[in-house]
Every structure is written in C-alpha cells, then in structure tokens.
Amino acid sequence: MKNEDHLKNLLESMEVIEESIEKGIAKRQRNIGFNASVAATDMLEMYLHKENLIDPGVIIKHEWFNSENKLKDKFPFEFRNKTKIFALIKEIEQKRNLLCYGKPQKEETLQEVIMALKKLKNEFKEMGLNEI
C-alpha cells in the first residue's frame, strides 16, 4: 500500500478515536480497540516503508504481535527503537480482542490503550515520521 493510503487510513482511525473520547470512551470501546490496532500497524508500515525495510506490498497483521516467534520471523532486521515500538504495539494488541469482542471494560483499560497509541505516535514522530 502507498504511504499516502496508509496516512489517509491512519488519520481516519485517529479521528474515530478522538470522536470516541469526546463521546465517552466507555461507550465506544470497540471503536477504540479496532482503530488503535489498525493505527499502530499503519504507523509501523509507514515507517518501515520510509526506511526501505519492507516492500510496499507487505501487509503487517496485528495478530503477529501476540507471538514472539512470529515477530522474529517477520521482522528479522533491526531498526531504531524496535523493542520499544513492539512493546507499545503489543500493549495495544493484548487488549484489542477484549475491547472488540468482550464485555464492557473499565475506563482505565481504555485509557491504557489510548496512552499506548499516543506514545507510539510520538515515538514515530521522533523517528522522523513527521506526516503523522
């Protein structure tokens, strides 16, 4: 996928999350779960494309972040702040299915996902992904 397509999708996801915060996160946990997950992978793909570490046709699957072996297999290369970025994405993914398919969660859980996404976005900005 082209970077401009990733950016369009990312901006849509971030807008949905902001709308969810405005309306009350407890009422929008599914939106937060789905959109935080897809936004995280969009940012990672954008960065890895920018650094020419993956081909434009590569699609990163969110479920890869639930398996250390899968991550080692799919990302055998190093890049700046890889450990920190993967830890933030894992934090989002560990709560994704609970938010998307589970019973209503405490606002604290939703806030943790939102904060992890904000930290991830800041990390990528510091790494030169300024368009996000």
> Is the separation of the CB atoms in 107 and 26 below 8 Å?
yes
Are the beta carbons of 86 and 20 closer than 8 angstroms?
no
Answer whether residue 57 shows pLDDT above 90: no
**What is the mean predicted confidence (pLDDT) over 8-27?**
96
Average pLDDT across the chain, whole number: 96
C-alpha–C-alpha distance, residues 132 and 95, integer Å: 23
Residue 5 tokens, joined? 């397509």
The pLDDT value recorded for residue 44 is 97
Give the pLDDT mean for 100-109.
96
User: Mean of the pLDDT values across residues 90-101?
Assistant: 97
**What pLDDT band is residue 2 in, cutting at 50, 70 and 90?**
confident
User: In this predicted structure, what is the pLDDT of residue 3?
Assistant: 81
pTM as predicted: 0.94
* pLDDT in the model for residue 85: 98
10 Å Cβ neighbour count for 100? 14
Per-residue pLDDT at 80: 96
Whole-number Å distance between alpha carbons of 76 and 87: 16
pLDDT exceeds cutoff 80 at 42: yes
